[in-house]
């Protein structure tokens, strides 16, 4: 794809990756992604913001064909999908300097072997004049690495945000045209890499609130022409109060745990609670992560296998533990054949979660009357707890 003009002297560059289906060897990408770079030609200086995943540099190289001089390459984030092609860019433009946050400097040196002399670090709030345009750098740590920052182009009111406000969508549209689609893609990305840092992200949202932003230009997915849409979504996601919702990841081998899951779903729905069950043998973990963003309670359904939780359930627990959702309650349901330490093992896997553990419902063999009574009690406890905590 050729460079695409955003405004006079501001261009989208980068690579639209239609085919990737897995990001970081972990995150499903149902709609592909893009690696966006942005070229700004000021009256005095020319700057490139971010680059592309190195395997796609050939496209960026072609886009830079008619750019004879580059003064700066801004690295908003040192992760390789944005900074990985900086060494190639520096080879093409040896006079260019890399601009990064102080924390990014060592990361760029460690990950990409960029010379220290080539890097200029910028303080929070520092500006860079390009002549008739001014870039202001705003440190926004932990979206989702410690060194991340964003850049605000004052004259054009564009916020270059890298991963922050990004979405994994491959599209030929330069701007978001379907907010509902972008909402889900952005929520998926937030859930998978940013949710653990939501308290810091909350502060970052406060920090950028004072800027008059007309366009958000992330480094994944289309640009956002109505910033309030995506900023408000993030405010909701980082808010401390979860929703009146239960997320129920489960796995069942002989249908006993499945019967318990079905019963619990129905008992919760009877009490006005939204439930999202996920069969872990077929679940897209991105969908599970999205559901975890605002769940009030997590209930893990698992049979006991070899005296412990099913490995799929253990994986879900480890994932939830890493993502640190804001859920307030957690429980475990399932069936066992002869015994084991399923509850103890699973509880040990979620030590990061600040949750109250509700009495589990573990039964031997096929669920009967006692099991359904226990599930009814669990549903009632969840309903009461949600109400007491003001979850809506």
Task: Find out whether 392 and 244 touch, Cβ atoms under 8 Å.
Answer: yes
Residues that bind ligand FEO (CB under 6 A): 77, 79, 81-82, 144, 163, 220
Shortest gap between Cβ of 97 and ligand FEO (angstroms)?
22
Q: What are the phi and psi torsion angles at 71 (to 5°)?
A: -90, -35
CA distance 340 to 330: 20
Task: Give the pair of three-digit tokens for residue 359.
Answer: 């009495």
Task: Find out whether 363 and 260 touch, Cβ atoms under 8 Å.
Answer: yes
Q: What are the phi and psi torsion angles at 162 (to 5°)?
A: 55, -125
Give the nearer residue to ligand FEO in terms of CB position, either 82 or 198: 82
Shortest gap between Cβ of 95 and ligand FEO (angstroms)?
27
Residues 6+ apart with CB under 8 A from 59: 1, 14, 15, 52
Shortest gap between Cβ of 217 and ligand FEO (angstroms)?
14
Shortest gap between Cβ of 258 and ligand FEO (angstroms)?
37
Shortest gap between Cβ of 184 and ligand FEO (angstroms)?
18
Q: Which residue has the closest beta carbon to ligand FEO?
A: 79
Give the nearer residue to ligand FEO in terms of CB position, either 170 or 247: 170
Give the nearer residue to ligand FEO in terms of CB position, either 59 or 302: 59
Helix ranges (H only) for 142-178 are none
Number of Cβ atoms within 10 Å of the Cβ of 368:
10
Q: Is the peptide bond before 101 cis (omega within 30 degrees of 0)?
A: no
Number of Cβ atoms within 10 Å of the Cβ of 268:
26
Residue 386, CB half-sphere, CA atoms under 13 Å: how many?
25
Give the nearer residue to ligand FEO in terms of CB position, either 114 or 355: 114
Task: Give the pair of three-digit tokens for residue 228.
Answer: 């309030």
Give the nearer residue to ligand FEO in terms of CB position, either 79 or 294: 79
Give the nearer residue to ligand FEO in terms of CB position, either 16 or 391: 16
Task: Find out whether 247 and 278 touch, Cβ atoms under 8 Å.
Answer: yes
Give the nearer residue to ligand FEO in terms of CB position, either 164 or 263: 164
Give the nearer residue to ligand FEO in terms of CB position, either 17 or 79: 79
Shortest gap between Cβ of 329 and ligand FEO (angstroms)?
31
Task: Give the pair of three-digit tokens for residue 207.
Answer: 């920090």
Shortest gap between Cβ of 219 and ligand FEO (angstroms)?
6
H or E element that contains 13:
strand 10-17
Shortest gap between Cβ of 77 and ligand FEO (angstroms)?
5
Structure letter (DSSP) for residue 191: I
């Amino acid at each position: 794809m050729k460079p695409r003009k955003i405004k006079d002297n501001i261009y989208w560059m980068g690579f639209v990756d239609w085919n990737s289906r897995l990001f970081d060897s972990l995150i499903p990408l149902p709609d592909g992604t893009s690696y966006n770079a942005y070229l700004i030609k000021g009256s005095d200086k020319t700057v490139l913001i971010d680059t592309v995943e190195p395997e796609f540099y050939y496209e960026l190289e072609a886009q830079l064909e008619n750019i004879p001089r580059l003064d700066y390459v801004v690295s908003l984030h040192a992760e390789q999908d944005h900074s990985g092609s900086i060494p190639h860019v520096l080879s093409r433009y040896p006079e260019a300097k890399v601009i990064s946050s102080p924390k990014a400097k060592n990361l760029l040196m460690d990950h990409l072997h960029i010379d220290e002399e080539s890097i200029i670090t910028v303080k929070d709030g520092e500006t860079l004049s390009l002549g008739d345009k001014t870039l202001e750098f705003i440190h926004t740590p932990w979206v989702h690495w410690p060194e991340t920052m964003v850049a605000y182009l004052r004259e054009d009111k564009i916020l270059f945000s890298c991963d922050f406000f990004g979405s994994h969508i491959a599209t030929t549209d330069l701007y978001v045209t379907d907010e509902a689609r972008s909402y889900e893609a952005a929520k998926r990305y937030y859930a998978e890499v940013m949710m653990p840092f939501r308290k810091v992200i909350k502060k970052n949202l406060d920090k950028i609130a004072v800027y008059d932003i007309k366009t958000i230009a992330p480094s994944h997915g289309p640009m956002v022409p109505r910033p309030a849409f995506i900023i408000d979504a993030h405010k909701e996601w980082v808010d401390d109060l979860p929703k009146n919702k239960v997320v129920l990841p489960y796995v069942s081998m002989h249908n006993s745990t499945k019967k318990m899951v079905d019963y619990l779903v129905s008992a919760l729905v009877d009490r006005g609670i939204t439930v999202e069950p996920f069969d872990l043998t077929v679940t897209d973990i991105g969908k599970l992560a999205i559901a975890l963003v605002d769940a009030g309670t997590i209930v893990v359904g698992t049979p006991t296998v070899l005296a412990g939780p099913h490995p799929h359930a253990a994986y879900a627990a480890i994932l939830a533990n890493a993502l640190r959702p804001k859920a307030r309650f957690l429980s475990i349901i399932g069936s066992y054949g002869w015994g084991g330490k399923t509850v103890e093992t699973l509880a040990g896997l979620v030590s990061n979660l600040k949750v109250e553990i509700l009495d589990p419902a573990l039964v031997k063999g096929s669920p009967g009357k006692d099991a359904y009574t226990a599930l009814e009690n669990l549903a009632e406890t969840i309903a009461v707890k949600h109400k007491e905590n003001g979850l809506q």
